[in-house]
Amino acid sequence: MDLLTFQNDQYPSFQAMGNAAQFAIPYAKYYCKGTGYDIGFCKEEWKLPNAVGIDYSLQNGYHADNLPDDQVDYIFSSHCLEHVDHWTKTLEYWISKLKKGGILFLYLPDFSQKYWRPWNNRKHNHCFTQEIVYNFLVDHNMSNIFKSGIDLNNSFMIVCQK
């Protein structure tokens, strides 16, 4: 079994390979119906099927903080929110882009993975716990909030409705 060691802790080596979305997409397919975005998908083969891809790599002007004018049925995002400048502003913006009843599906790296903390990984601007994101969503009147446990990818899912 391939493992990585960081600060005397071991993690599965797949955590360094990208495509974290692969662990969330099977669940997202149950919730993400209609028209929606996969924000920060990076590679076409990693994108949530049938979602409109939003990523800097497309070089079309759209990114996490600049979405098309439409309101959508869902927003899916995997391992993207930790990279934005101001995650609270970005998440408020995403919520504003959802139709009433729309689904927000987030898959986020958990604080438990030491390498993903911003002081160890300069690509990350933020680190998350389930409770921080859950409380933000409650304070922003999101409903039917479900949070998963921390998975083998040291990540968690939060699904909610506007």
Local confidence pLDDT in tens for the 162 residues of the chain: 899 999 999 999 999 999 999 999 999 999 999 999 999 999 999 999 999 999 988 889 999 999 999 999 999 999 999 999 999 999 999 999 999 999 999 999 999 999 999 999 999 999 999 999 999 999 999 999 999 999 999 999 999 999
CATH number of domain containing 149:
3.40.50.150
Is there a domain that residue 101 lies in? yes
| Nearest Cα residue to 110 out of 92, 86, 131 | 131
Number of structural domains found in the chain: 1
- In-domain check, residue 15: no
Burial of 100 (0-12, 13-18, 19+ CB in 10 A): exposed
Residue 4 falls within a domain, yes or no? no
